[in-house]
Amino acid sequence: MSGPAPSRGSVPPQRPGGAAELRPVTALKGVGDALAVKLAKLGIETVQDVLFLMPLRYEDRTHTRPIGTLRAGDRAVVEGEVQLAEVVIRRRRQLLVRISDGSGFLTLRFFYFTAQQQAQLVRGVRLRCYGEARRGTLGLEIVHPEYRRADGVDAQDTSDSLTPVYPTTEGVQQGRLRILTALALAEAEAAAVRDWVPAELLADPGLPPLADALRFVHRPPPGADLASFETGRHPAQRRLAFEELLAHQVSLRLLRREIRADLAWPLAATGALGAAFRATLPFALTGAQERALAEALADLAKPSPMLRLVQGDVGSGKTVVAALAALAAVEAGFQAVVMAPTELLAEQHHQNFERWFRPLGVPVALLCGRLTGRARQLTLNAIAAGTDVPVVIGTHALFQEGVKFGRLALVVIDEQHRFGVHQRMALRDKGRGHGRYPHQLIMTATPIPRTLAMTAYADLDVSVIDELPPGRTPVRTVVMPDSRRDEIVARIEAACRGGRQAYWVCPLIEESEELEYQAAEATHAALVVALPDLKIGLAHGRLTPTKKQAVMAAFKRGELDVLVATTVIEVGVDVPNASLMVIENAERMGLAQLHQLRGRVGRGAAESSCVLLYRAPLSPLARARLEVMRTTTDGFEVSRRDLELRGPGELLGTRQTGLMQMKVADLIRDSDLLPYVQQAAEVMLARHPDNIGPLLRRWIGARDRYGKV
C-alpha cells in the first residue's frame, strides 16, 4: 500500500536520525564565516555536503620516489634536503629551491611566495614534496609543489591512502578540502551516517552500504583499482550513483503524483471537428501518428491532467497530432495554446494552424514579444475572453504577467528540450481556473532512448512517432572541407537548373574576427556574384518579422532558388521542393541542431542531399559528430550518439532546472542501474516515505521540486 502523498510544495518529513550530517559546515573545526562563504560556492553548506563533495581524480602519494628515477611528466612524492634557496628575477621574481636525496637533484620553482616561506626554505631543511616533474632550464623541476617539512615535529609518513583531488574555488585549497573531508568522515563514522536507502534495495544491484562507499571514495587504500575509478565503475562510486539517480527519480515521481492529484477539464469531444480537419488533409496519418493521437485523446477525456510527451524524428508529423488534440479542446468549448521556442517557429505554426482551422471556423491568435501596442491589447482581451480565440500560438510571451486565459484546457509545448520544466509549469499555472489545471502535450524532435526518457521524464507518459510519412526519401549526407566550396556552388547551380531549391546555412549574421564563421551576409553576397542567374534570398533573426516572413514565403512559393540563412530555419520551414542543404562550419554545431537542419530537406519525393562544410583542423569531438551525421539519418541513433558525446544535460535542455546536474551519476555509464532505480523508487514511495525527504535534501537540496514553484 503506498504511503500518503506529501503536501503540495513539500517533501515528506525527515524522521529522526542523521541530524549531525545536517549541521552547518561551520561546526567543523577551522571553518569560520569567511571560509563558509567560499565553501558555499562549491555547494557546501552542511557537514553532509562535505561528505558528498566527490573527488575529480586521485593521486598516488603512498610512497616516495628517488629523485634520480624521475622523468618529465611523472607525478610523484619525493623527499630531499635543501641544498640551495635563492630569489632570482628572470622576467618575474621567483624563488628557486634545489633539493637532493643522494640519487639526484630537483628544483622547486615558486612564482608566488611569502617572506615566511622564504625564511623556512633554507639550506639543510628536509622536505617532502609532491607535483609533476617537467624539464626546466636547470634540469627537472616542479613548479609550485605541495610540500611539508620531513624532519622534526612536522615529519609524517607518506599517505596511507590515495590522495583525492577535489573541485576547488578561489580561496579554498586542496589541503583544506582534504582536512574537511577527513573531519566529516570521522564525524560520520562516530555518528553512523544515515543510509536512507534500505539494504533490501541494494542487494540485487550488489552495492555496498553508504558508509563503506563514502570512506572508499574519499580515501581509497593503496592498490585500489584506479582504472575503475577513472571510468566511474568502482562499486563505491556506483553505490553513490545509484542513490543519486534514485533521488532524481523519486523527485520526478512525486511531481507526477502531485499533478495527477489535480483536477482537469475532461474533454469528451465527439470528434466532429477532427474528422472535418482530416478530410482537408492531402494525406492519411501514419500508424504511429494514429497511435500517439489515440493515447492523447484518451488522456484528454480524463478528469486528471494529461502529461504526455510525444517524441518523433524531424518530419514525422507531430504538429498534425497536436492540431487534432487542440481541436478536441475547442470542440469541448475550451482553449488550446501552443508554445514554441522562437518567434519564427511560432509564426510558422500560426500560419499552418490558421490555414488548417480557418475552413473549420476556428480563429487562431498569435502572441509573441514583437506584438505591441493596441494590437497586443486587443489580442490579450480576446484571449482573456476565452471562446473568442480558442487557439493561441506564441512564445515565452504566453506566460508573462498580464496574459490571462478565459478557458484554457490544453497546453502544447513544442521543442520541449528548449524549455525548462519551470517554464512549462509556469504556463500550466496560467491556465488554472475553478480548481482545475490544463492538460499538457509536450513535443520534441529530439528522440531519446527509452531508459533515458523514463528517467529524465519520469513525470510524463511517452508516445513515440517512429514512422516517417510515405514518400519521404532518406537524405544523403556528405562531409567536405570548406576548401572545396567552388564544387558546392556548382552543385547548387545544377540542382536549381533542374528545378530544385537549396538552403545555405551560416551560424552568424555578420563577419566576426573572433569566430571564423562564414557569415550569412557575406555568403549571400558571394553567391549572388557566383550565381548571377539564380534568385538568392537572405533570412536571419535581425530582419523584421514582416521581412523575414516575406523571404521565407517567397522561398516556399518557389520564387527564390537559394535561401541563405542563419539557424533561424532550424525548425518550422517545410519546402518539399528543397533538395539540397549546405551547412557552413558544421564542426561547430551539435548533433541535434545538425539533424534538425538536415530535416529541412528530403520532404519531397526527389533525392536530397546535405553537405556539411568544415574548417580544418577538426577536433576529435567534431570529427565524431560529423561521422555520426554521415553514417545515419535515424533520429534515435543520432540522439543516442549525441547523448554519448555531449551528456544528458545539454541534450535534454535541463541545465537551467537543476535536473540531470549530477555529482556522481552518468546516465550513459550507469544505464544498467536504471531498472533497479525505477524499482527502488516504487518501493521507497510505497514502503519508506519518511526516507524520501532526507534523500532529496542530500542530493537535490533546494531543487527538490522541479515545477511546483
Sign of the four-CA dihedral 197, 198, 200, 203: positive
Give the homologous superfamily in CATH for domain 272-465: P-loop containing nucleotide triphosphate hydrolases (3.40.50.300)
Per residue in 261-287, is it b (16+ CB within 10 Å) or e — as a string? Answer: ebebbebebeeebbeebeeeeeeebbe
User: Is the CB of residue 314 less than 8 Å from the CB of residue 540?
Assistant: no
d(CA 267, CA 303): 8
Phi, psi (5° rounding) for residue 576? Answer: -55, -25
Strand partners, 279: none
- pTM reported for the whole predicted model: 0.67
Nearest to 521 by CA among 531, 532, 511: 511
Q: From start to end of 629-709, where are the E strands?
A: none
- Write down the pLDDT at residue 233: 87
CB atoms within 10 A of CB 669: 15
What top-level class would CATH report for the domain 63-158?
Answer: mainly beta
Residues 633-665 pLDDT 10s: 888 788 778 777 765 544 444 433 334 567 888
Q: For the chain, first and last CA: distance in Å?
A: 29
pLDDT for the residue 665: 87
Dihedral through CA 533, CA 534, CA 540, CA 542, nearest 10?
Answer: 40
Cα dihedral value 446, 452, 457, 462, nearest 10:
70
Can you tell me the distance from the alpha carbon of 200 to that of 220, in angstroms, rounded to the nearest whole number?
26
Q: What is the mean pLDDT of residues 217-241?
A: 87
d(CA 623, CA 504): 21
In the predicted model, is pLDDT for residue 296 greater than 80? yes
Q: What is the CATH number of domain 475-632?
A: 3.40.50.300
Residue for cell digits 609533476? 132
Q: Is the pLDDT of residue 708 over 60?
A: no
Q: Can you state the angle between helices 692-699 and 235-260, rounded to 10 degrees?
A: 120
Least confident residue range of 224-233, 259-268, 677-686: 224-233
Sign of the dihedral through C-alpha 389, 393, 395, 396: positive
Yes or no: say if 32 and 68 are a contact pair by the CB < 8 Å rule.
no
Can you give the residue ranges of every domain in the chain? 19-58+166-193+199-231, 63-158, 272-465, 475-632
Per residue in 574-603, pLDDT (tens digit) is 788 999 999 999 998 888 788 888 988 887
Angle at 657 (CA atoms; ends 653, 661), nearest 5 degrees:
80
pLDDT score recorded for residue 4: 34
- The reply to whether domains 272-465 and 475-632 share a CATH topology is yes
Work out the mean pLDDT of the chain and round it to a whole number.
84
Question: Which CA distances in Å does 211 have to 25, 208, 220, 653?
Answer: 19, 8, 13, 34
The pLDDT value recorded for residue 21 is: 65
State how far the Cα of 695 lies from the Cα of 517, in Å rounded to an integer: 47
Q: What angle do CA 283, 287, 289 make, to 5 degrees?
A: 75
Contact in structure between 144 and 109 (CB atoms under 8 Å): yes
Distance CA 79, CA 197 (A): 45
| For range 396-421, the mean pLDDT | 79
Q: Please, which residues bridge with residue 526 across strands?
A: none
